[in-house]
Amino acid sequence: MPTSTFFNLNDLKRAKLLQAAEKEFARAPLSQASIANIVKLAGISRGSFYQYFDGKEDAFYYLLKLHTDKRRAYFLKLLQEKDGDLMASMDQVFRTMLIELSEEEHLQFLKNAVLNVTHEIEDSFTELFLGKQSEIDAVNQVKNLVDLKKINIVNKQEFFHVMQILTSVTFRNLVDQLSRNLSHEEAIENFRIEMDLLSKGLSKANKQV
């Protein structure tokens, strides 16, 4: 996390710095982004940067958090609008992100993040849907919004795993679209097939229930 000094900055300077960082992380993936470029863009000295952040990773993950926080709010809103229909909400989030990632130029930052997935980044996306695992209420917040009657689970633990599964599969579909340059139609069709499979189950045995 950024230091307190960073949060003490006046809004203008802080915004300018974040914008500079985002621009640099949009230009190049984390490993190739350089602090020199960020400070040049932000018009601050190298030393200052290190007073705000531990290093470029620190800045990167903070930016990523800002992005996913925004999308988490959107996901929760969707759940409400769609009367707790989890699959429909995931579907909508996937479609929205597809569009965002292709259209909004400044989201090149997110593209770079998604294509260069450390487990920390995948965690960020898990949090998008599930909230921070350390905050017990966050999972409940989602669970309370979801219409559990439509979901094939017997307890809260299983709900957690349902979300984990949906997140992994959704996330991988996003990565696929980006890395293989699929068209939106293809990406949505692939996603739909997998969500159907997830819904109805992979094994035939369950039909005997």
Partner DNA sequence: ATATTAAGTGACACGATGTCATAAGTCAAT
Partner DNA sequence: ATTGACTTATGACATCGTGTCACTTAATAT
Residue numbers at the binding site for a copy of itself (CB under 8 A): 31, 87, 114-119, 122-123, 149-153, 157-158, 161-162, 164-166, 168-169, 171-172, 175, 178-179, 190, 193-194, 197-207, 209
Please tell me whether residue 17 binds DNA under the rule CB under 7 A. no
Nearer to DNA, 46 or 70 (CB): 46
Kindly state the smallest distance separating residue 33's Cβ from a copy of itself, in Å: 12
Distance CA 208, CA 100 (A): 42
User: Among residue numbers 38 through 97, which ones bind DNA (CB under 7 A)?
Assistant: 44-48, 50-51, 55-56
175's contact among DNA, a copy of itself, none, with CB below 5 to 8 A by partner kind, is a copy of itself
Cβ contact 83:149 at 8 Å: no
140's contact among DNA, a copy of itself, none, with CB below 5 to 8 A by partner kind, is none
Compute how many other C-beta atoms are within 10 angstroms of the C-beta atom of residue 19: 14
What is the DSSP-derived secondary structure letter of residue 133? T
20's contact among DNA, a copy of itself, none, with CB below 5 to 8 A by partner kind, is none
Nearer to DNA, 37 or 108 (CB): 37
Kindly state the smallest distance separating residue 162's Cβ from a copy of itself, in Å: 6
Cβ contact 159:94 at 8 Å: no
Nearest 5°: CA angle at 161, between 192 and 171? 40
3-class DSSP state of 132: coil
Q: Stretches 6-14, 81-89, 90-98, 145-153: which one binds DNA (CB under 7 A)?
A: 6-14
Cβ contact 60:21 at 8 Å: yes
55's contact among DNA, a copy of itself, none, with CB below 5 to 8 A by partner kind, is DNA
Distance CA 76, CA 141 (A): 9
C-alpha distance from residue 153 to each of 5, 71, 86 (Å): 46, 26, 13
Distance CA 61, CA 112 (A): 12
The residues of the shown chain that bind DNA, judged by CB under 7 A, are: 4-5, 8-9, 13, 33-37, 44-48, 50-51, 55-56
